Copies of this chain bind each other. A is one copy, B any other.
Amino acid sequence: MRKSIATVSLSGTLEEKLAAAARAGFDAVEIFEADLISAASPARDIRAMCADLGLGIDIYQPLRDFEGAAPKTFRANLRRAAGKFELMRELGTDLLLVCSSVAPRAAGDDGLIAEQLHTLAELAAGHGCRVAYEALAWGRHVNDYRHAWKLVAAAGHPSLGVCLDSFHILSRGHDPAGIREIPGDKIFFLQLADAPRMLMDVLQWSRHHRCFPGQGSFGLAGFLRHTLAAGYAGPLSLEVFNDVFRQADAERTATDALRSLIALEEAVLPESPVAPPAPLRGFSFAEIAVDPLGGVAAERMLRALGFTRAARHRTKPVHLWQQGDARILVNAARPAPADRRRGDAAVSAVAVDSADPAQSAARAEALLAPGVPRSFGPGEAELTAITAPDGTLVFFCGTEWLGDFSELDTPPPGAAGITTIDHIALSQPAHHAQEAALFYQSVLGMRRHDPVEIADPYGLVRSFAMTSPGGAVRLALSVPALAGDPLPQSAGHQHVAFACTDIFATARAVHAGGASILPIPANYYADLATRTDLGTDFLAGLREANILHDRTEDGEFLHFFTTMLGRRLFFEVVQRINGYDGYGAANTPVRMAAQYRLA
């Protein structure tokens, strides 16, 4: 289906917005009036620019506070509309969006409104134009799409139809099934926006918190199915007012936007050209990028945690460290990011064990995931990788890449009892939580869990999990609640969490191995004693090994942390008991405070 985006959804001057929409691959745009008014280019130049970029202009929007007006105001409103129709001719578009009036003095008389809409449609027809009437969720009298359609039907003019906007309908909890009762050719335009569920004033919610389909909580797929069932055959157009997108790089936002429409289309169309997500069976490895200093520290820490240097890449300074099914590649060849300081180590890549790497790669490409240019040495495995929004590489592979490695030591069975990678925690740049969530959700077919708020001593952080179906691949993503200096240091932290089945035994082994474990304050254990029924000996064991404890209705969680490697990375060891499904978020402020004390 034709895909469009309103210029208000993107950052920049009008000319920059158009360029970004075109580069991302959109077919068309909605021109938002305020963008045109501020533009230096006259309408005919904007028309030419869109033509050069291969972009249609599908609608001009909005005309506000038009209907239900007293005679004198109505004459002024018609003059205003006539000016817009003339402008639209220069712009080369024939559709004008009229949103329901919010004017305090607007009359709520349906007969008058229908008559005024008819007059407007007649004026439009004289200019070769059409009018799409939309009910704003906070319209003075018309704030339900069924009411808007009733008025359009009553007006009965071929140049008048409705515009449906998913936000205005779903934010008010109106049943979208009623869309099926509107003839498809009277639905002149369709605007799509998602939003997180928030209990707040609908106008503020709409102006600041809309997001792209799949990034919020609305049932966009069901909404679109109703609209298609009604016979709508026009473009899918995104109209998203969002404070972050107003400020972010326009092309990045446009790509995120188009990805959301491709995923939505896939969810709705009976036959999608996009390959379905391949099952993910776990982490094949996590790669840690190091400089020489960080490499020494990382390898010392891994050895203390019971890992063995199992293999070395044939041509690159990359070592495989292994324990059980937990594999860490320590890579000294990854180019250093600009902010890397001496001794820093960072998660540079995550490899997921896809049941069909080629299918995963094809899906990623269809969903606009940026690929990674790679160089292969003779005989090296051709691994497919994409780049996640935070810059982390994501590989789709099993263990075929082991062919590129020469074996070194044989991992001893058991060692410290670490069995696999439980989850990988990655901080995301401020403002990019939605983009990251949609990326993993659409490209890898993962599920986003509800966010939790974490009181870092130096600022609030939001954290949410993404899990693959079955839960073999778990990511914990976190973002600062506010951007801006000074961000808490945890805003740059990452960690790899390893699973074990007897955390006390593992703790003893890594203690014996000389691992540097994060000390947890006595106050934490004193509180734990008052609020749980854990026995004295058990509590003493936790305290001695700096193990933290969490309990939910799902089960129990025991975990401890290493100290930091450089400024970014640390490791965690976890034991999940009785199906505990979280990440110990209740303990995170304690962990962060402990880390700050050592920083």
Which interface residue of A200, A208, A243, A527 has the most chain B CB atoms within 10 A?
A: A527
Could you say which residues of chain B place their CB within 8 Å of the CB of A13?
Answer: 457, 593, 596-597
Which interface residue of A37, A87, A524, A531 has the most chain B CB atoms within 10 A?
A: A37
Asked if B12 and A457 make an inter-chain contact with CB atoms under 8 angstroms apart, the answer reads: yes
Could you say which residues of chain B place their CB within 8 Å of the CB of A84?
Answer: 530
Query: Hey, what's the 0/1 contact readout for A174-218 against B, CB within 8 Å counting as 1?
Result: 000000000000000000000000111100100110000000000
Given the complex of chains A and B, what is the CA–CA distance between A36 and B590 in angstroms? 10
Asked if B247 and A482 make an inter-chain contact with CB atoms under 8 angstroms apart, the answer reads: yes
Given the complex of chains A and B, what is the CA–CA distance between A60 and B459 in angstroms? 22
Selected from B207, B431, B530, the residue in CB contact (under 8 A) with A83 is B530
Given the complex of chains A and B, what is the CA–CA distance between A487 and B431 in angstroms? 13
Asked if A244 and B37 make an inter-chain contact with CB atoms under 8 angstroms apart, the answer reads: no
Interface size in chain A (residues, C-beta < 8 A)? 66
Query: Hey, what's the 0/1 contact readout for A5-43 against B, CB within 8 Å counting as 1?
Result: 000000111000000000000000000011011111011
Residues in chain A within 8 A of chain B (CB atoms): 11-13, 33-34, 36-40, 42-43, 76, 79-80, 82-84, 87, 198-201, 204, 207-208, 243-244, 246-247, 249, 430-431, 453, 455-460, 480-488, 521-524, 526-527, 529-531, 533, 589-590, 592-594, 596-597
Could you say which residues of chain B place their CB within 8 Å of the CB of A83?
Answer: 526-527, 529-531
Could you say which residues of chain B place their CB within 8 Å of the CB of A488?
Answer: 247
Which interface residue of A33, A459, A533 has the most chain B CB atoms within 10 A?
A: A459
Selected from B39, B199, B246, the residue in CB contact (under 8 A) with A521 is B39
Given the complex of chains A and B, what is the CA–CA distance between A207 and B87 in angstroms? 48
Chain copies in complex:
2
Asked if A201 and B201 make an inter-chain contact with CB atoms under 8 angstroms apart, the answer reads: no
Could you say which residues of chain B place their CB within 8 Å of the CB of A11?
Answer: 457-459
Asked if A430 and B199 make an inter-chain contact with CB atoms under 8 angstroms apart, the answer reads: no
Could you say which residues of chain B place their CB within 8 Å of the CB of A249?
Answer: 486
Selected from B201, B247, B527, B592, the residue in CB contact (under 8 A) with A198 is B201
Selected from B207, B459, B483, the residue in CB contact (under 8 A) with A484 is B483
Could you say which residues of chain B place their CB within 8 Å of the CB of A459?
Answer: 11, 243, 246-247
Asked if A527 and B37 make an inter-chain contact with CB atoms under 8 angstroms apart, the answer reads: yes
A82 closest partner in B (C-beta): B530
Known: A83-B530, A482-B244, A530-B83. Is A43-B458 also a contact (CB below 8 A)?
Answer: no
Distance from A560 Cβ to chain B, minimum over Cβ atoms (Å): 16
Selected from B43, B87, B460, B590, the residue in CB contact (under 8 A) with A38 is B590
